[in-house]
Amino acid sequence: MLIGNAPCSWGVFYPTGNALGGEAYLDAVARAGYHATELGPLGFLPADTAVLRDALARRGLTLAGAAHVHVLTQAGSWPVLQAALDALGPILARLGAPHLALMDESEAYPAEAPGVTDAAGWRAMIDLVRRAHAHMREAHGVALTFHPHVGTCVEREDQIDRLLAETEVDLCFDTGHHAFWDQDPIAYMRKAWDRIGYIHLKNVDPAVRARVLSGTLGPNESFAAGVMAPLPDGAVDIAGVVRLMRERAYDGPCVVEQDPSTDPAAEPPEALAVRNRLFLERLLAAGDAA
């Protein structure tokens, strides 16, 4: 099982304007003890595969895959999405990381109706997912998975079920985003295991989640309030998730994501990355000893 981390754990969501650059991020994720990383937003790490390969190798890192965000409910946006896929595909293929997680853009929805779309929006999303899935496979030999995400039109289990029924795409299953709405990640992983191609590990703070469920805190605002907790601290049974992955002999990438807090007194990203890694390593070592 390849354990990695991602630039988003350091607050990197855009190619530029970040607190640290690509080289500094690679140094940080290697210092934190990881051996793999996701690519991050296109343009954050070098797009030249020779340069990127060397930068990774110097730090003992491999590329696990990438994630891409697109406004999937926007009909007619295929040319924009295709251009991004054609930029990402060669990087992933040449570096032996044939995994791309596609997700909807939560910020495209109005604050008063996060994730709400109409029938036309759903049809547009399904069309884009089908086209993206086929294009990545046929043009680049890369497996595209779909990442259900809080605040988008695919976040609840009935929506995920419908997506799987209407497309051939597999899931990038994110334990934190699934648990956000008090859904059981392990139960759903068991149900949909044959359609899970990539895994993101996150946890959820039950107290912050309770505020969302009660309607006193908005879903998007909850991220700044720390709804995504460190792996050892939240409501998700991460040990159970690891046992299930072992039981099913999962051998794909497993990427830790830790949304950084906006609280200046909070643990810094690198310390959180180390704590999450050590927790996972203890779980894996316990499984080896069992």
The Cα 170–Cα 223 span in angstroms is 26
pLDDT in tens, 135-165: 999 999 999 999 999 999 999 999 999 999 9
Helix (H) or strand (E) holding 19: none
Closest Cα to residue 273, out of 230, 228, 227?
230
Q: Check residues 175 and 221 and name the one with the higher pLDDT.
A: 175
* Distances from the Cα of 28 to the Cα of 48, 125, 270, 272, angstroms: 21, 36, 7, 12
Ramachandran region, residue 167 (left: φ > 0; alpha: ψ -120 to 50; beta: rest): beta
List Cβ neighbours of 95 (8 Å cut-off, separation of 6 or more).
49, 52, 53, 56, 62, 63
Residue carrying structure tokens 């109005």: 110
Closest Cα to residue 129, out of 152, 156, 95?
152
Q: Supply the CATH number for residue 48's domain.
A: 3.20.20.150
- Would strands 170-174 and 36-38 be described as parallel, antiparallel, or unpaired? unpaired
Is this structure's pTM higher than 0.85? yes
Res 220: pLDDT: 87
The Cα 228–Cα 168 span in angstroms is 29
The domain of 185 spans: 2-289
* Distances from the Cα of 9 to the Cα of 19, 36, 48, 203, 273, angstroms: 12, 13, 23, 13, 8
Res 79: pLDDT: 98
pLDDT in tens, 91-150: 999 999 999 999 999 999 998 899 999 999 999 999 999 999 999 999 999 999 999 999
Res 289: pLDDT: 57
Res 290: pLDDT: 53
Number of domains in the chain: 1
